[in-house]
Structure 1
Amino acid sequence: MYPSSIDTSERSVGEDGLPNFPMRRCPFAPPAEYAEIRKKPGLSKVRMPDGAWAWIVTRHNEVKQVLGDNRFSTVPSTPNYPMIAPARASLLRNEHPATLIRMDPPEHTKHRRMFSREFMVKTVEAMKPYLNDLVDRLLDEMEAKGGSCDFAEVFALALPTTVISNMLGVPYEDQEYFHERALQKLDLKADPEVPLRAGREMREYLDGLITRKLEAAEPADDLITRMLHNYMLPGHITRAEALATAELLLMGGHETTANMIALGCLSLLLHPDQKDALVADPSLVVGAVEEMLRFHTIVHYNGPRVALEDVEVGGTLIRKGDGVLALISAANRDPAAFDDPDRFDIRRKALHHVAFSFGSHQCLGQALARAELQIVFSKLFQRFPNLKLAVPVEELEFRYDAFVYGIEKLPVTW
């Protein structure tokens, strides 16, 4: 069984009676308050750390409605944009220029179109021989560790970091540098200066990389080089915008998938019957990956928006200028959308989950993430049928205070 306890000291209500946001999630579930709020008619309000209030949206259909409606802005400079932590506010308010995911149409449409081809299903299909070979090599390296390792570092982080480094043309040997800064940018409990400094250092690093690519005698065959020659040099985007895009893709391409691989492995270790079923029937891997994505929903604070005009959602009138939190982690545990949603079940038909968000801002790299996860879990337990946790599950440390949820270490033996 999963541990399901929650530190009740994290639950608090402001003087005005509004629940304080964010609430602390359980190791394997969103905050219990989401389910309580979902049962109430209409929408509810929560109090943000800066004292502002926002509507909280927890039901599957209504989360999709908000995320799919361009009358809700995702631009952080919009008045009343819900800031989930001072560190997050510091980062978003000083991020110039904004990244793709923090733009509204038509700017968002223009920038997304430039890079969507790089992540199309057809493109990812062509990458699968490389992905298969890479997974096999990393499993070889894991086996060479001699019977135990930290799976989170040795495999879960190494795979997507290698993939995105190769795609972007970023030296893999620099991975420790950019991974550390990614963690600092995502730490919600950090001093507000920490994510700002990490962002500056990340873009300084990428600026030097761009200079080297522009000075190369022959253009390399990588995404950053194509972006420079197809969009920056012709004047379609500025150098600063190229830097912002490179940073977004580098962070998004390794941090999320790394945590999903580690948590997916843990899910199967804690459900050996389902692990054995997957080994016996590899065709279950597609559904297993979708269930991992739904169950963990690691980008668990995704969905801050501001209404650009009056919109009715769930029988509640959201006024122009109101802040809104459309929480995908709550939507993916809605019993109206998923039977027994707190149960992990690799045979579940979960493709309608919103772990990659929904609407025009859904994850650009979702086809690549799915391919990596499917290949990993079609091979991992076939190669290591005796893989097990090296410590009690209660001793594992989870990243509660990060924008991307995950696990610090996953010690395993075989």
Structure 2
Amino acid sequence: MADQLPTYPITDRTCPYDPPAGLLALQEQAPLVRVQLPTGPAWLVTRYDAARALLDDPRMSSDMGREGFPTLYRQKMRPVLKGSFMRMDGDQHAFYRTMLAGEFSVKRVQAMRPEIEQACDQLLDEMIRQGPPANLHQAYGVPVSSRSICQLLGVPYEDADFFTTHLEALFDPHRAGAPERIAESKAALSGYLDELVSRKEKEPGDDMISRLVADYLIPGKVDRPELLLTSYLLLAAGHETTASMITTGTAALLMHPGQLAALREEPHLLRGAVEELLRYLSIFQFGITRVATEDVRVGDQTVAAGEGIIVSPLLGNRDQDVYDDPHTLDVRRRGRPHLSFGHGPHLCVGHTLARIELQTAFERLLTRLPDLRLAVPESEVPFRTETLVFGTIDLPVAWGEQPAKTPA
């Protein structure tokens, strides 16, 4: 019976960095486990190999207009991603991937590194000038992420407060009033981007939106709503997730001093440490949704046509058959790639930019503030466990000489 299935999402964590015990219990059962979503039953994919196989399978559709497509929302709302390239399959999806591939090429993104480094240093200069304590998320994580995606897209950074406020609504769909807030925010951002595209048509710059206008909109290869939705999704995805990774990754390092010390003593570990933090945190925590267009066999289990799946990067990244001691943060870890950017045809298009941002943000932070520490006890750092993006957006940090303790 459907009402006997375990309810998903499961969010109760005893340790902020470990998956909920209820999720780990499901992982022990099988690579695929039936769970109850707000819209009905679906398969939860709990194991790494099964996740990669299904995400690479063309019979698993991203089209949320298909019958049986799973949704994690308890409240009825118009899906933000519906109609976007992220919810397309086959040749239609490949067209948009090709359109964006050059914009996120390693060469183009690497060319942004000096400007990202400069932005990091400017923000750290301001933090140091104001003195401790500081909320690292607001002072560093959010503006590093915002500046980078604004630079790439050609969005004026002086408008960051406007779009940051509206983007926050998208990542907390379970909050009271979320459908209305999401609809209002999407309308406001779409209107903003529509005006921006009009300006780019008249005065193009050296940025992604200008190039897409010139190469795709004006020749009629895409229409205006398609361009606006694509720009909207890139702005949203490139802002919230990277900002949260900078802040939550820093929190993880500060709460694991042995790992932080290793990273300080051996700076060459940084690139691998970023990958380990991505694996360990899995901040896009609830999963990747698909629906089967045909019966798909996975081991000794079958996902029938019309049945939905939720691929859990959180569980795949903690698969003990793939990673030794998977619940331990280890900046020296090497091995199979994580699932935090997805896998297969829908691998996150912005993963190259995200990696450069994270590598640069952590390198500058640890270099400029070698004595960075938490300004509150670990138990007082709040973590969001019921939002689409896991982590903390309130990380009080300090540096410099510690105040002397008052004698008892």
Q: TM-score, normalised by structure 2?
A: 0.93
The one of 14, 20, 25 equivalent to 1:36 is 25
Instruction: Give the drift of 1:42.
Output: 5.4
Q: Percent identity?
A: 38
Contact 1:74 1:306 in 2 (8 A): yes
Instruction: Give the drift of 1:25.
Output: 4.7
**Do structure 1's residue 76 and structure 2's residue 64 form an aligned pair?**
yes
Q: 1:43 to 1:302 in 2, by over 3 A?
A: closer
- Partner letter of residue 318 of structure 1? V
Give distance in 1, aligned partners of 2:20 and 2:167: 25
Give distance in 2, aligned partners of 1:185 and 1:41: 32
**Do structure 1's residue 23 and structure 2's residue 21 form an aligned pair?**
no
Residues 360-379 of structure 1 aligned to structure 2 (within 5 Å): 360-379=345-364
- Partner letter of residue 341 of structure 1? P
Deviates more, 1:162-171 or 1:188-197: 188-197
Give distance in 1, aligned partners of 2:81 and 2:363: 39
Contact 2:31 2:45 in 1 (8 A): no
Which contiguous aligned blocks of 4+ residues in structure 1 show a shift greater than 4 angstroms?
Answer: none
Deviates more, 1:380-389 or 1:225-234: 380-389
Residues 278-293 of structure 1 aligned to structure 2 (within 5 Å): 278-293=263-278
Instruction: Give the drift of 1:404.
Output: 1.8
Give distance in 2, aligned partners of 1:23 and 1:145: 40
Give distance in 1, aligned partners of 2:335 and 2:85: 27
Q: 1:374 to 1:42 in 2, by over 3 A?
A: closer
What per-residue deviation string (whole Å, max 9, x for no partner) do you get for residues 28-49 of structure 1?
1222222211222452210111
The one of 380, 389, 395 equivalent to 1:404 is 389
- Partner letter of residue 184 of structure 2? R
Contact 2:216 2:222 in 1 (8 A): yes
The one of 135, 152, 156 equivalent to 2:141 is 156
Contact 1:291 1:350 in 2 (8 A): no
**Do structure 1's residue 194 and structure 2's residue 172 form an aligned pair?**
no
Contact 1:91 1:185 in 2 (8 A): no
- Partner letter of residue 266 of structure 2? D
What per-residue deviation string (whole Å, max 9, x for no partner) do you get for residues 195-214 of structure 1?
12211111111111112222
Give distance in 2, aligned partners of 1:72 and 1:104: 9
Instruction: Give the drift of 1:128.
Output: 1.8
Deviates more, 1:25-34 or 1:229-238: 25-34
The one of 211, 230, 237 equivalent to 2:198 is 211
The one of 29, 34, 46 equivalent to 1:45 is 34
**Do structure 1's residue 85 and structure 2's residue 73 form an aligned pair?**
yes
Contact 2:259 2:329 in 1 (8 A): no
Give distance in 1, aligned partners of 2:248 and 2:157: 23
Kindly tell me the number of residue pairs found equivalent between the two proteins.
395
Give distance in 1, aligned partners of 2:111 and 2:277: 24
What per-residue deviation string (whole Å, max 9, x for no partner) do you get for residues 123-172 of structure 1?
12222222222222222122112122110110011101001111111111
* Equivalent residue number for residue 277 of structure 1: 262
Give distance in 2, aligned partners of 1:383 and 1:95: 39
Deviates more, 1:182-191 or 1:245-254: 182-191
Contact 1:42 1:315 in 2 (8 A): no
What per-residue deviation string (whole Å, max 9, x for no partner) do you get for residues 297-333 of structure 1?
1111231110000110131111100011111111001
Residues 15-414 of structure 1 aligned to structure 2 (within 5 Å): 16-26=3-13, 27-41=16-30, 43-50=32-39, 52-87=40-75, 90-92=77-79, 98-190=83-175, 191=177, 192-216=179-203, 219-414=204-399
Instruction: Give the drift of 1:95.
Output: 5.5
Give distance in 1, aligned partners of 2:385 and 2:183: 20
Deviates more, 1:125-134 or 1:341-350: 125-134
Give distance in 1, aligned partners of 2:290 and 2:209: 30
What per-residue deviation string (whole Å, max 9, x for no partner) do you get for residues 5-63 of structure 1?
xxxxxxxxx9732001111152212222222112224522101113x100111000001
**Gaps (5+ residues) in structure 1?**
1-13
Q: 1:389 to 1:42 in 2, by over 3 A?
A: closer
DSSP 3-state at the match of 1:91:
coil
Give distance in 1, aligned partners of 2:357 and 2:342: 19
Give distance in 1, aligned partners of 2:190 and 2:287: 23
Instruction: Give the drift of 1:67.
Output: 0.8
Q: 1:227 to 1:381 in 2, by over 3 A?
A: same
Q: TM-score, normalised by structure 1?
A: 0.92
Give distance in 2, aligned partners of 1:300 and 1:121: 26
DSSP 3-state at the match of 2:116:
helix
Instruction: Give the drift of 1:350.
Output: 4.7
Query: What's the Cα RMSD here?
Result: 1.6
Give distance in 2, aligned partners of 1:100 and 1:374: 28
Deviates more, 1:392-401 or 1:58-67: 392-401
Give distance in 1, aligned partners of 2:265 and 2:332: 13
- Partner letter of residue 66 of structure 1? L
DSSP 3-state at the match of 2:314:
helix
**Gaps (5+ residues) in structure 2?**
400-408
Give distance in 2, aligned partners of 1:195 and 1:260: 23
Give distance in 1, aligned partners of 2:291 and 2:85: 17
Give distance in 2, aligned partners of 1:68 and 1:275: 35
Give distance in 2, aligned partners of 1:380 and 1:150: 14
